[in-house]
Structure 1
Amino acid sequence: MAKLLLLLFTGAKFGKLLLTGGSMLVSVFAYALLFGWRYAVGFVLLLFVHEMGHYIAARQRGLNVGAPTFIPFIGAWVELKDMPHDAETEAYVGLGGPLLGTVGALACYFLARDQDSNLLLAIAYSGFFLNLFNLIPLSPFDGGRITAVLSPRIWLLGVPVLVGLFFWRPSPMLILMALLAAPQLLKAIRYKADSEEAQTYYAVSAATRVEYGFYYLALAGFLAVMTHDVHEMLRGVGAVR
């Protein structure tokens, strides 16, 4: 019986690894059709680094979390099998992805400058932009999970950002994200500071709010600068228009 249980446990873990690895390969194949396999591999690896940031942060807080799963042209996610107990924990897990993702993009950037590689510079740009995009202060983006520790009403600020992005670069993914965000917007509109949820789940100290507000603004500012500067570098070599 013990051997059977061990076999089932091993098989389950192998299945999770197979799902992660298989979905990564499918994503690489899909992106390679449009951008070439080398760019596709780098982009998917940066997605993996981003998701592992969430994974590590969740494990640090004692949450049961699944391995990353990838869907081409949608992105990737890790399944939280245990929901955060409070807004601070949710913000911590939300911050882990763009923080580690930024480190991964920086590694590509420095490697690109060292090797004078436009390919690595393009991959770095995708990483900076991806993590900046995820900081939109609107749930279910990472930015929404981080800023919720301040107040769910901040999600209302993410609406014009999402609308502006759609008019700048129309995309079905933005429509999908808007549909996913709709229930959260309704929650933000109905949010009351004297509600039971506000007094329990969202009850954090002023110092915690200031701390996460600083992390969010600092990371968003840094990513905005790097996204702009790397884009200009790529324009200079004719890699983008």
Structure 2
Amino acid sequence: MQLLQLQHLGQTLRLEASPAGWQQLYWGDQIVSQVTANANHKGLLCHHFQLQQTVQDSDASTEVINYRLDIDLSWQPFSLKYQLVVNDEVVLSGQRDSKDIEQQPPVSVDDTSKKISVVGMVSLALKLFKSAKMIKVILAGASLAAYSWFFSFQFALALLACLVFHEYGHIRAMKYFSMPTKGIYLIPFVGGLAVSDSKINTRWQDVVISIMGPTFGLILSCVCVVVYWLTDSPFFAGLAVFNALLNLFNLLPILPLDGGHILKSISFSMHSKVGVFACAVGAGLGIYISYSLGLTLLGFLLAIGCLEIVFEWRSRWQTNLLPLDNYGQVVSTLWYLLTVGGLIAIIFYFANDNDPILSLPLQILGS
């Protein structure tokens, strides 16, 4: 990932690094220095390189310029201090933190080796139509027709409102990180998709953007519960419980769902075997609780999601995203668990009403 970019003598001096420990220094597009260290290295690392510069005098001679870039880097929590020395004279110095990494333009990555996913294909198709705003209206109309065929027209409208509110949570998070957005697309039988023109730089951005959709969904379900208490209308009860089910499925740890992005960011930020073991224990506890409560389907999908994350854990060093620090890992985990717990609580609350419709989400989770 790109950690530093400096301008000197009309050229760009760029530092690329990985949590695995290696650092590469580029002068323009050419690698001029490479330093390798282990993942737990702390302290100063120095990049040395030389450049030849033509001196404009009568002899048109060349002189050798000695460069040294001193880097004091800490990943947990992230902190970078740098000093550029030219011929034993300090010309540039400063420091960066995770906020600076979040705000920098993302580095373009070659996607040719990435797996093709359904959501990726849908996203590509949407980009092809990005100049035609009418596509949003067409997709929204198709979604309304599809859900009206299964439910009533009124409930289909309410369900679309839930989907839009969920995706609006993603949009708000993107705007918080100053990322340009393309808006919300409703896709029949798939749900919604919040599209952005920009890419993320940190795991924290991935967590916040991913979890804000279900968080907004939980808030909406809570509002529907309050309205149900005030009006005793079964419509708002049904809306609250089905919206909770929709957002709960989005939090399953399966990519490309929101939960898959959240747990992948947490687990990939744990560089020690102790952290991975703790993540595995927590996942196992979640599966046990799911089966104990009779949520067979939820436990089964949790197991699949955990296996997927374990399979990809070995590639955690090859990321272009700044990992979460220890504080970020704790906050992300608690935020995720509280959101999941709140959604399950709403589903259980209405299942006790002995209404066959309101108990349907719990029956789905227990199937």
- TM-score, normalising length from structure 1? 0.75
Q: CA deviation at 1:166?
A: 8.7
CA deviations on 1:9-58 (whole Å, 9 max, x unpaired) are: xxx99943x43343223212211122111111111100000001001111
Q: CA deviation at 1:72?
A: 1.7
Q: How does 1:145-184 map to 2 (within 5 A)?
A: 145-152=261-268, 165=297
Q: Judge conservation of contact 2:207–2:265 (CA < 8 Å) in 1.
A: yes
CA-atom RMSD in angstroms: 3.3
Which consecutive unaligned segments of at least 5 residues does structure 2 have? 1-128, 269-275, 291-295, 361-367
Q: Judge conservation of contact 1:98–1:131 (CA < 8 Å) in 2.
A: yes
Q: Judge conservation of contact 2:170–2:212 (CA < 8 Å) in 1.
A: yes
Asked if 1:24 is matched to 2:150, the reply is no
Q: Give the structure with higher Rg (CA).
A: 2
Residue 101 (structure 1) aligned to one of 217, 230, 240? 217
Residue 64 (structure 1) aligned to one of 180, 202, 206? 180
CA distance in 1, matches of 2:238, 2:149: 17
Name the SS of the counterpart of 2:192 in structure 1. strand
Residue 189 (structure 1) aligned to one of 311, 321, 325? 311
Which consecutive unaligned segments of at least 5 residues does structure 1 have? 1-11, 169-173
Q: Judge conservation of contact 2:218–2:342 (CA < 8 Å) in 1.
A: no
Asked if 1:122 is matched to 2:238, the reply is yes
Identity of aligned residues (%): 22
Q: CA deviation at 1:191?
A: 2.5
CA distance in 2, matches of 1:37, 1:29: 8
Q: How does 1:9-48 map to 2 (within 5 A)?
A: 15-16=132-133, 18-48=134-164
**Could you tell me which residue of structure 2 aligns to residue 7 of structure 1?**
none
**Could you tell me which residue of structure 1 aligns to residue 334 of structure 2?**
214
Letter in 2 for 1:59: K
Residue 324 (structure 2) aligned to one of 187, 204, 219? 204
Q: Judge conservation of contact 2:182–2:194 (CA < 8 Å) in 1.
A: yes
Q: Judge conservation of contact 1:105–1:125 (CA < 8 Å) in 2.
A: yes
CA distance in 1, matches of 2:204, 2:299: 33
Say which structure is richer in helix: 1
Number of equivalent positions:
212
Q: Which has the higher contact order (CA 8 A, sep 6+)?
A: 1
CA distance in 1, matches of 2:224, 2:183: 24
CA deviations on 1:108-136 (whole Å, 9 max, x unpaired) are: 22212211111221111111111111111
CA deviations on 1:147-170 (whole Å, 9 max, x unpaired) are: 223114769x59x88xx53999xx
- TM-score, normalising length from structure 2? 0.51
Q: Judge conservation of contact 1:87–1:148 (CA < 8 Å) in 2.
A: no
Name the SS of the counterpart of 1:84 in structure 2. coil
Q: CA deviation at 1:228?
A: 1.5
